[in-house]
Amino acid sequence: MPQQKYVIDKLISAKSIAARIEELSHEIEREYAGTQKLVVVGLLRGSFIFIADLVRELDLPVEVDFVETSSYGNSMESSREVRILKDLRGDIERRDVLVVEDIVDTGHTLSHVLHLLGSRRPHNLRTIALLDKPSRREADIRADWIGFEIPDAFVVGYGIDYAQRDRNLPYIGKVRFTDD
C-alpha cells in the first residue's frame, strides 16, 4: 500500500527540547537525591533519543533498561491492544524506577506497562513523557513529569515515527497530509 504524501511543520524546536530536558533532569535529580541507583526504563522505540539525552543530563547513578511495546504498527491510530515485544532484562524489585515514554496519547500503552512493572514490586514507579496529548486520553493516567503538552495532531521526529520514517528529525514536527 503506497503511503500518503505529507509535509512536516515544525512544532517544537531541537533547542526547546534540549532546554526542557535540562529542566526536567534537575527536577528528577531533586526527586531521586540519595538513591542508590535509578533504573530508567525506556519504552521502545519512540523514546530512544529522549532517554539518551535525559540520562546524559542526570547527575545520578542510573541503570538503563528497555521495554518494547506495539499498539500502532504502521498506522496513525492506536489499536488499543498493547503487546510486549521486548521485556526488561533486569530485576526491578525494591528499586526506584523511572519509565520514559515518548508520547502519552490514549494512555493505554503507559497504563499497560505500569501495571506490568508495578506487579514486579519496585520501591517506587514514576513516569516521564516528552509529549502529552491529553485531548486524546482514554485511560486514567498522567505522567509525573511532562516535557510538552501538545494538541491533537500526529507528530514525528526526535525518535517518534510514522511507518518507521522521520525518527531522525532533531525536532518534533506535525504531520500534514497533501494531495501532491
CATH number assigned to the domain comprising residue 22: 3.40.50.2020
Axis crossing angle, helix 48-57 with helix 14-31, rounded to the nearest 10: 60
pLDDT at 78 over 90: no
Give yes or no for residue 12 having a pLDDT over 70: yes
**In angstroms, rounded to a whole number, what is the distance separating the alpha carbons of residues 100 and 97?**
10
Query: pLDDT tens across 114-168, in order?
Result: 999 999 999 999 999 999 999 999 999 999 999 999 999 999 999 999 988 999 9
Cell of 57: 543530563
Q: Is pLDDT of 64 > 90?
A: yes
What type of residue is 17? I
Cα–Cα distances (Å) from 38 to 1, 41, 160, 176, in that order, read 44, 9, 25, 39
> Does 174 map to a domain?
no
CA-to-CA distance for 171 and 85, rounded, in angstroms? 27
pLDDT(77) > 80: no
Q: Is 113 helix (H, G, I), strand (E, B) or coil?
A: helix
105 catalytically annotated: yes
- 101 or 87, greater pLDDT: 101
Does residue 61 form part of some domain? yes
User: Is residue 157 a part of any domain in this protein?
Assistant: no
Strand 172-177 relative to strand 6-12: parallel, antiparallel, unpaired? antiparallel
Assess if residue 166 is contained within a domain.
Answer: no
- pLDDT tens profile 166-179: 999 999 999 999 88
Q: Confirm whether 144 is domain-assigned.
A: yes
Whose grid coordinates read 526547546?
Answer: 16
Active-site residue identified among 96, 105, 132, 166: 105
The 83-86 sheet, strands edge to edge: 83-86, 62-70, 38-44, 96-104, 124-132, 145-149
Q: How far, in Å, CA of 155 to CA of 176, rounded?
A: 9
Indicate whether 180 belongs to any domain.
Answer: no
**Contacts (Cβ under 8 Å, ≥6 apart) of 59:** 25, 29
Strand-pairing partners, residue 165, are 162
CB 133 within 8 A of CB 103: yes
Is position 94 within any domain?
yes
The yes-or-no verdict on residue 72 having pLDDT over 60 is no
Mean pLDDT over 50-60 rounds to: 97
Please check whether residue 172 lies inside any domain of the structure.
Answer: no
Q: What is the pLDDT of residue 26?
A: 97
Cell of 95: 528499586
Q: How many domains does the chain have?
A: 1
32 is in which domain, residue-wise? 14-152
CA 79, CA 83: separation in Å to the nearest integer?
10
Mind listing the pLDDT tens digit for each residue in 24-43?
999 999 999 988 889 999 99
